[in-house]
Amino acid sequence: MIEPLRGRKRTHTCGDLRAEHAGERVRLMGWAHRVRDHGGVLFLDLRDRYGITQVVFRPEKISPPVLEKARAIGSEYVVLIEGAAKPRPPGSENAELRTGAMEVEADQLAILNQSKTPPFPLDDGATASEDLRLRYRYLDLRRDVLKQNLIFRHRMTRSVREYLSDQGFLEIETPLLVKPTPEGARDYVVPARLHPGKFYALPQSPQLYKQILMVSGFDRYFQIARCLRDEDLRADRQPEFTQIDLEMSFVTEDDVFDVVEGTLQSIFRRDLDRDLETPFPRISYEESMARFGSDKPDLRIPFEIRDVTEIAGASAFEVFRAAKKDAPKTGTLALPVPGLGTASRREIDNFEATAKQAGAGGLAWARVKGGALDGGVAKHFPGDLTAKLLEATGARDGDLLLLCSGPRPLAQRVLGLLRTQIGNAAFKLDSREFRFAWVHRFPLFEWLEAHAAWGPAHHIFTMPLEEDLPYIETDPGRVKAQLYDLAANGNELASGSIRIHRKDIQESVMRTIGMKAEEAQEKFGFLLEAFEYGAPPHGGIALGLDRLVVLFNGGESIRDAIAFPKTASATSLMDGAPAPIDPKDLKELKLRIQD
Ligand code: ASP
């Protein structure tokens, strides 16, 4: 029953036929998307990457053997049909298909292959569990949503390549077998057979190599780079993901911002068919935390955090008074939520539960009604203080005020979390509206409570702001870095920095985080050595490609943008990775598995 191709070629794809093809004899090949028997007349929706074409088998017009074969076509069979392209009878056109005005009246049919019944329906909106779909990923990829994501990903990647090439960037590959990198996450390692006991690491990013390419004088580098990080289970992370990785010489952060804005603009123009306004707003880390309680703010959410430490501290509420005493280390912050005065006690209790889970002692609240406060902490605010509070927060009748006191970073984080949660649940945020923002001037160091020591906030090659250079060792906490992130709609899309190219600054940073010269030598001596041969001032950034695809093209997780993703526990359900290896291979690698 299965027939060979016999050199036959397609005249059209399943997405091609339009009114102008009426009367042509055509040959199509594809998968049997759906077969319907309408009282003897057989309809076949034939599908390929390009679309779906309706094929009709009319018993009165075809030979009995062809009809018999047609009746045997099962779901996802691979078939070849020949016949006449015709306009569909008036009234039976399908406006949802690009080929919907046409059908093919088939008189020839070859079944090129059969198919088992797929374990889940391939129509869109598949209700099958993700595990089942990952197990049969090749079938899942036949679904239109995933297919469109991968097509978009290809087009977007091509736009990036072309734009950056036009800007003088060179695409240069860096090694996959590298020396373990100092970027924070755990390395995936590969045993070196020729050097028993030694290991390569798979790169967490091309960071060190791209910096060395600047020392070599390449000036502008990019790479669509695979990055591998052996991180613990975290929602919506993948052990391997792709970055648009850039590095540039003789630049300040403005130059890096320009290139990234230009790249995104070209994606918008070419692949999304719309304009993108640049430059993006720039927000310091400090401001971002103060206004949004997050370093990846969602600017679509129409309310911000306000500082009401002074006003609330003058109320009769003891918690607010205490927060004022230790200001500015502590404070009282307010989140005025427009229109949420209708929230029930139960909803407010849920907000408080979120706050407590995030570490807050509690969450104070009041509704705004008739120009006054109502419920919650209202009783602690006399009239004049209420007026001040309303003015400072911009809250109006019908709004809900949420107030959080405590150490400032904690209160920011808590209200930032509630802002995102409420913003997403109660406001119609448009997923097609993209609000980009640069968040920059992050602290250079972060205090690692567990180690009672300073650690690098990004990586140790990040350059401090010029004006903070004198404080690297004397007051690390105040040192800001030339470190920046690109955020959009609550996502972190990119992260990068201007790098340290001077040995004295590098050594000073390493002393601050307590890294011994030997340790630095051992970990990335090769970079430090390269820096001794005329390293130019340089900087760069990396954009998460998978995340960009999901953001621009819809989809829930970055798995939807990756052809063969892994599960949250880093397994591949389709091919069964990871898997044990042959004891013989272990022996050759001089490795023994411990119980
Ligand atoms: N390598 C950095 C990262 O993966 C990006 C950069 O600083 O360019 O986050």
pLDDT, tens only, 396-413: 999 999 999 999 999 999
Question: DSSP assignment of 75-141, as one string?
Answer: TT-EEEEEEEEEEPPTT---TTSTTTTEEEEEEEEEEEE--PPPSS--SSS--S-HHHHHHTHHHHT
**Residue 235 has what pLDDT?**
75
Structure tokens belonging to residue 247:
């590095």
User: SS3 of 32, please?
Assistant: strand
Atom of ligand 1 nearest to the CA of 496: 7
Average pLDDT, the chain: 95
Q: Quick one: pLDDT band at residue 58, thresholds 50, 70, 90?
A: very high
User: SS3 of 364, please?
Assistant: strand
Q: Is 207 in the pocket of ligand 1 (CB under 6 A)?
A: yes
- Whose C-alpha lies nearest to ligand 1, atom 9? 495
Q: Is 242 in the pocket of ligand 1 (CB under 6 A)?
A: no
User: SS3 of 389, please?
Assistant: helix
Q: Is 223 in the pocket of ligand 1 (CB under 6 A)?
A: no
Structure tokens belonging to residue 366:
């009041």
Rounded to whole angstroms, how far apart are CA atoms 301 and 292? 10
Q: Is 205 in the pocket of ligand 1 (CB under 6 A)?
A: yes
**Residue 234 has what pLDDT?**
76
Of 428, 130, 208, whose CA–CA distance to 301 is shortest? 428
Pairing of strands 25-38, 78-87: antiparallel
Q: What is the separation of C-alpha 271 from the centre of its chain, rounded to a whole number of angstroms?
A: 18
Rounded to a whole number of angstroms, the distance between the first and last alpha carbons of the chain is 53
Structure tokens belonging to residue 54:
């309706």
pLDDT at 182 over 70: no
**Residue 183 has what pLDDT?**
59
- Whose C-alpha lies nearest to ligand 1, atom 4? 205
Q: Is 544 in the pocket of ligand 1 (CB under 6 A)?
A: no
Rounded to whole angstroms, how far apart are CA atoms 37 and 420? 51
Within 10 A of 473 (CB to CB), how many other CB atoms are there?
12
Structure tokens belonging to residue 209:
């190599």
Residue 495: what are its φ and ψ, rounded to 5°?
A: -155, 140
**Residue 448 has what pLDDT?**
92
pLDDT tens digits along 407-436: 999 999 999 999 999 999 999 999 999 999
**Residue 78 has what pLDDT?**
98
Q: Which amino acid is residue 83, in one-letter code?
A: G
Q: In 294-370, where does DSSP find H-type helix?
A: 309-313, 318-325, 345-357
**Contact between residue 45 and residue 94 where contact means Cβ atoms under 8 Å apart:** no
Whole-structure pTM value: 0.94
**Residue 181 has what pLDDT?**
64
Rounded to whole angstroms, how far apart are CA atoms 572 and 98? 35
Rounded to whole angstroms, how far apart are CA atoms 39 and 33? 19
pLDDT tens digits along 257-266: 999 999 999 9
pLDDT tens digits along 199-257: 999 999 999 999 999 999 999 999 999 999 998 877 788 999 999 999 999 999 999 99
**Residue 64 has what pLDDT?**
94
User: SS3 of 232, please?
Assistant: coil
**Residue 549 has what pLDDT?**
97
Region 440-448: mean pLDDT is 95
pLDDT at 151 over 70: yes
Atom of ligand 1 nearest to the CA of 540: 8
Report the separation in Å between the CA atom of 221 and the middle of ligand 1, taken as the mean of its atom positions.
13
**Residue 519 has what pLDDT?**
86
Report the separation in Å between the CA atom of 151 and the middle of ligand 1, taken as the mean of its atom positions.
26
Q: What percent of the chain has pLDDT over 90?
A: 90
The pick from 214, 256, 461, 495 for probing ligand 1's pocket by mutation, whose C-beta has the most ligand atoms within 8 angstroms, reads: 495
User: SS3 of 584, please?
Assistant: helix
Structure tokens belonging to residue 166:
């036009």
Task: Count Cα neighbours of 197 within 13 Å in the Cβ-side half-sphere.
Answer: 0
pLDDT tens digits along 512-538: 999 888 888 888 889 889 999 999 999
The pick from 174, 178, 204, 207 for probing ligand 1's pocket by mutation, whose C-beta has the most ligand atoms within 8 angstroms, reads: 207
Q: Quick one: pLDDT band at residue 125, thresholds 50, 70, 90?
A: low
**Residue 543 has what pLDDT?**
98
Residues 6+ apart with CB under 8 A from 521: 528
- Per DSSP (E only), the strands in 394-537 are 400-407, 436-440, 445-448, 453-456, 483-488, 491-498
